[in-house]
């Protein structure tokens, strides 16, 4: 926003931020309405709106006004959501996934890039930087003009955006990812744990919209949790909320039923845990009884683990997300039955519509939140 110097400049910035914030949360408003809401004079509002029009933050709303009225209708203005863009990005062992959105949350582009688990941290950060630049170029802006970038990564991420621990990416622990990306991109950057972003996505535009207390189970070649408590993703005392850690017998304990089934049907075919589950899902849908039993036992094993979290937290909903979410009712029904039996107040169990995209969608929401604290901060 336009900046001046001195006390008058400070007051002008305060009023500008207030008016921009009002427009951000209002469909359209007249100068008189803005003056009343911001508690300033109409001439002050008019001068500020003129500046915001020039700077591209505001546009005049020119659609026909309904209803009969005398005289010339008052000009109406609205926040220009296309004034800036944000990028949300998820970091996985084998893929980077980015989405570009305007300030209204409309997704305008998406990009995926294959990476390798064995990359050095520097190489991975180079790829992230390059992908953000490509997203900015596709949106028609310079990277430095992005309002914010949010990155979701596996591992424990502290409040400064440093990866404290990571079991998935080698040598990723200890990387000050937020500081590294901020220096390279020269834009506001937020780095967060991927599961917190996944549950944020479900709360924003997913199956948990309108819910306040949610347990999100990420399924794939790893199992992780995201917790929404009081309408906000929960971090925990050490920013490690949701980290399940390595099961005592590895992933075999959770996926043993579907892995055994897949091996018995096609002994020579090597599959990852998630691929074994998907293979069993496909056979179960075809009516194969052994496959259906393997899937039900797999789902019940997941439910047994969930119950240890659900009973003490008392959530409204459990969301099954990740790459196995398309399993849908094959997972949801056995988990719901088990929780109905063992929980004092059984939550509703649903499958995510986002699947493996929940992390990047949550990153977009986090980038929008981060941008708003920067753009509409009254002391900036």
Is residue 306 in a domain?
A: yes
Asked if the model's pLDDT at residue 251 lies above 70, the reply is no
User: What is the structure's pLDDT at 17?
Assistant: 86
Domain boundary among 49, 82, 115: 82
CATH code assigned at 274: 3.30.420.40
The interaxial angle of helices 42-55 and 31-38, nearest 10 deg, is 110
Domain assignment present for residue 156? The answer is: yes
Between CA 282 and CA 286 the distance in angstroms is 7
Half-sphere exposure of 70 (CA within 13 A, CB side): 0
Please list, in sequence order, all residues whose beta carbon lies within 8 angstroms of the beta carbon of residue 264, skipping any fewer than 6 positions away: 290
Q: With respect to residue 316, please indicate whether it lies within any of the assigned structural domains.
A: yes
CA distance 284 to 42: 67
Least confident window among 113-122, 185-194, 250-259, 291-300: 250-259
Q: Are strands 85-91 and 76-79 parallel, antiparallel or unpaired?
A: unpaired
- In the chain, the number of structural domains is 3
**Pairing verdict, β 76-79 and 58-61:** antiparallel
Is the model's pLDDT at 3 over the cut of 80? no
Model confidence, pTM: 0.88
What does the mean pLDDT of the chain come to? 90
Q: How confident is the model at residue 65 (pLDDT cuts 50, 70, 90)?
A: low
| pLDDT (mean) for 4-33 | 82
Among the listed residues 81, 139, 83, 143, the one whose alpha carbon sits nearest the alpha carbon of residue 106: 81
Residue 186 shares a structural domain with residue 220:
no
Q: For 277-318, what is each residue's pLDDT tens digit?
A: 999 999 999 999 999 999 999 999 999 999 999 999 999 999
122 is in which domain, residue-wise? 84-199+359-375
For the cut 50, the answer to whether the pLDDT of residue 4 exceeds it is no
Whether 110 is in a domain gets the answer yes
Q: Residue 16: give its domain's CATH number.
A: 1.10.10.10
Top-confidence range, 166-170, 180-184, 247-251: 180-184
Task: Give mean pLDDT, residues 134-155.
Answer: 95
In a domain, 124, yes or no: yes
> Do 326 and 246 reside in the same domain of the chain?
yes
Same-domain check for residues 102 and 46: no
In a domain, 58, yes or no: yes
* pLDDT at residue 7 is higher than 70: no
Residues 162 and 278 grouped into a single domain: no
pLDDT, tens digit, 9 for 90 and up, residues 82-134? 999 999 999 999 999 999 999 999 999 999 999 999 999 999 999 999 999 99
- The percent of the chain in helix, strand and coil, each rounded to the nearest 5, is 45, 20, 35
Could you give the C-alpha distances from 306 to 112, 132, 222, 247, 255, in angstroms and in order?
A: 31, 36, 15, 14, 15
In terms of domains, do 232 and 332 share one?
yes
Q: How far apart are CA 278 and CA 129, in angstroms?
A: 33
Looking at residue 356, its pLDDT comes to 87
Q: Are residues 220 and 340 in the same domain?
A: yes
Same domain (yes/no): 222, 337? yes
């Amino acid at each position: 926003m336009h900046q001046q110097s001195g006390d008058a400049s400070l007051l002008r910035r305060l009023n500008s931020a207030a008016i921009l914030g009002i427009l951000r949360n209002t469909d359209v408003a007249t100068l008189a309405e803005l003056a009343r809401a911001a508690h300033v004079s109409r001439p002050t509002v008019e001068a500020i709106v003129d500046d915001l029009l020039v700077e591209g933050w505001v546009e005049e709303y020119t659609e026909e006004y309904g209803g009969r009225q005398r005289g010339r209708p008052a000009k109406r203005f609205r926040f220009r959501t296309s004034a800036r863009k944000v990028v949300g990005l998820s970091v996985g062992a084998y893929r980077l996934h980015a989405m570009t959105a305007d300030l209204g949350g409309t997704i305008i582009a998406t990009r995926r890039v294959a990476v390798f688990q064995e990359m050095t941290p520097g190489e991975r950060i180079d790829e992230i930087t390059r992908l953000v630049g490509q997203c900015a170029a596709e949106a028609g802006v310079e990277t430095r003009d992005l309002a914010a970038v949010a990155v979701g990564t596996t591992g424990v991420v502290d409040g400064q955006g440093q990866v404290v621990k990571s079991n998935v990416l080698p040598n990723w622990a200890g990387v000050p990812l937020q500081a590294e990306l901020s220096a390279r991109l020269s834009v506001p950057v937020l780095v967060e744990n991927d599961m917190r972003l996944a549950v944020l996505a479900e709360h924003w535009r997913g199956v948990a919209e309108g819910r306040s207390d949610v347990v999100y189970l990420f399924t794939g070649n790893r199992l992780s949790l995201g917790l929404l408590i009081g309408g906000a993703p929960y971090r925990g005392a050490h920013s490690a909320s949701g980290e399940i850690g390595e099961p005592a017998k590895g992933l075999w304990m959770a996926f043993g039923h579907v892995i055994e089934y897949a091996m018995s049907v096609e002994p020579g075919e090597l599959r990852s845990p998630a691929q074994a589950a998907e293979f069993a899902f496909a056979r179960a849908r075809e009516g194969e009884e052994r496959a259906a039993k393997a899937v039900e036992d797999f789902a019940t094993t997941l439910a047994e683990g969930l119950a240890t979290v659900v009973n003490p937290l008392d959530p409204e909903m459990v969301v099954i997300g990740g790459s196995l979410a398309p399993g849908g009712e094959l997972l949801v029904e056995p988990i719901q039955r088990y929780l109905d039996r063992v929980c004092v107040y059984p939550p509703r169990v649903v499958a995510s519509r986002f699947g493996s995209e929940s992390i990047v969608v949550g990153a977009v929401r986090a980038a929008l939140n981060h941008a708003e604290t920067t753009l509409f901060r009254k002391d900036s």
